[in-house]
Amino acid sequence: MGNTTQFLINHGLPLVFGAVFLEQMGLPIPAPPWLLGAGALSASGKFSLVLAIGLTILACVAADLFWFYLGRYRGNQVIGLLCRISLEPDSCVRRTQNVFTRYGPRGLVVAKFVPGLSTVAPPLAGMSGTSLGQFLLYDGLGSLLYGGCYIILGYFFSNQIEQIVEALASVAGSTLGLIAAVIILFIGFKYWQRQRLLRELRMARVTVDELHQKQEAGEEVVILDLRSSAALEEDPTLIRGAIHVSLDTLEKRQQEIPRDRDVVVYCSCPNEVTSARVALLLRRKGFTRVRPLLGGIDAWRQQNYPMDAFPPAMSTATSTSSGNQRN
């Protein structure tokens, strides 16, 4: 019996719990290898299959409850934090919001299998008002499927996994160094990719003070709110005069946006990647006077500037602006 296998037998339970818990907390620590190892050891009777699955569920639910209550009481701040630390600027947050808007709490069942969704889904459940009972039901089921799939795979492919573990153990130093180098290179590449994207999207922003001054001066500024439906359910208010437009329908509805006015777009993510991307898209479509709002809706709210209740309709706003043009 190799030293690596013996180490897993002696310390496997806390390792499985710790790896799963840290992964669900959002740290870049992959839990599946530990779950596969636990399943492989269970096949030879050196590990408890039921206990391994139970610990996985416990670790997942414990970490997810932390994010769930943070989302319930600090929703926008949590999403802002996830936007800041995400290697994929705010795309993972936006994708998760779209999934959760479509499937509701049921999205928790599959969230752990989709990169980026696992950490973001629990706070969104808290933000959306999902009851604790519903959350525990769907999150527990998702945790069972997540842990069970990997552990059972390890159980049925135990011989192959043990051979791989022993092979890695024989070259432990060089292998660990290679794995660490690959992880560092991956993170470095994603960071470089993120910075390149932000440089590409860098353009003149309009500040909330400038936008407020334009409104006070009577300028007819078109303001587009690009937040997801989940974000609107949590915070059903808009910047005064803003119109909510989903990213899915924006291209179809671009003809409704006047081209002879200043257009300001905003989202809720501090990186402002979504609003910058939309501004870039609209510029390519011929909208020459479009700019993202610096700081988004949070910056507007911090200045205590006027807000509107959701939802004003695009068609109403457009027809009103058309009527003003005729007058």
| DSSP result, 72-118 | HHHHHHHHHHHHHH-SSTTHHHHHHHHHHHHHGGGHHHHHTTSTTHH
pLDDT higher than 90, residue 168? no
- Residue 199 is predicted with a pLDDT of 63
Question: Which is more confident, 157 or 90?
Answer: 157
- Residue 121 is predicted with a pLDDT of 84
Q: Which residues contact 74 (CB under 8 A, 6 or more apart)?
A: none
Token reading at 219 = 């300028």
The domain spans of the chain are 3-170, 208-326
pLDDT higher than 50, residue 327? no
- How many Cβ atoms are within 10 Å of 83's Cβ, its own excluded? 24
Q: What angle do CA 33, 39, 45 make, to 5 degrees?
A: 140
pLDDT higher than 50, residue 313? no
- Residue 325 is predicted with a pLDDT of 39
Q: What angle do CA 83, 87, 90 make, to 5 degrees?
A: 35
Per-residue pLDDT band for 85 (boundaries 50, 70, 90) equals low
Instruction: Look up tokens 């898209």; give the residue.
Output: 281
| Cβ 206 vs Cβ 293: under 8 Å | yes
Per-residue pLDDT band for 68 (boundaries 50, 70, 90) equals very high
In CATH, what class is 208-326? Answer: alpha beta
pLDDT higher than 80, residue 161? no
Give the three-class secondary structure for 3. helix
- Residue 57 is predicted with a pLDDT of 95
pLDDT higher than 90, residue 56? yes
| 215-224, 266-275, 281-290, range with the lowest pLDDT | 266-275
- How many Cβ atoms are within 10 Å of 172's Cβ, its own excluded? 11
φ and ψ of 26, to 5 deg: 105, 0
- Residue 242 is predicted with a pLDDT of 93
Token reading at 104 = 């509701």
Q: What angle do helix axes 49-85 and 3-24 make, rounded to 10 degrees?
A: 50
Separation between Cα atoms, residue 81 and residue 76, nearest integer Å? 9
DSSP strand pairing (242-244 vs 222-225): parallel
Per-residue pLDDT band for 191 (boundaries 50, 70, 90) equals low
pLDDT higher than 80, residue 97? no
Token reading at 172 = 């432990």
Give the three-class secondary structure for 206. strand
pLDDT tens per residue across span 232-264:
777 789 999 999 988 778 878 888 888 888 999
pLDDT higher than 80, residue 187? no
Mean pLDDT of the chain: 77
- Residue 108 is predicted with a pLDDT of 87
**DSSP code per residue over 139-204:** HHHHHHHHHHHHHHHHHHTHHHHHHHHHHHHHTHHHHHHHHHHHHHHHHHHHHHHHHHHHHHH--P
φ and ψ of 162, to 5 deg: -65, -40
Give the three-class secondary structure for 290. strand
Stretch (H or E) spanning 276: helix 273-284
- Residue 137 is predicted with a pLDDT of 95
Give the three-class secondary structure for 34. helix
| 89-98, 205-214, 268-277, range with the lowest pLDDT | 89-98
- Residue 14 is predicted with a pLDDT of 85
- Residue 144 is predicted with a pLDDT of 95
pLDDT higher than 70, residue 208? yes
pLDDT higher than 60, residue 318? no
pLDDT higher than 90, residue 64? yes
pLDDT higher than 80, residue 181? no
Average pLDDT estimate for 288-317? 78
Token reading at 149 = 């799939």
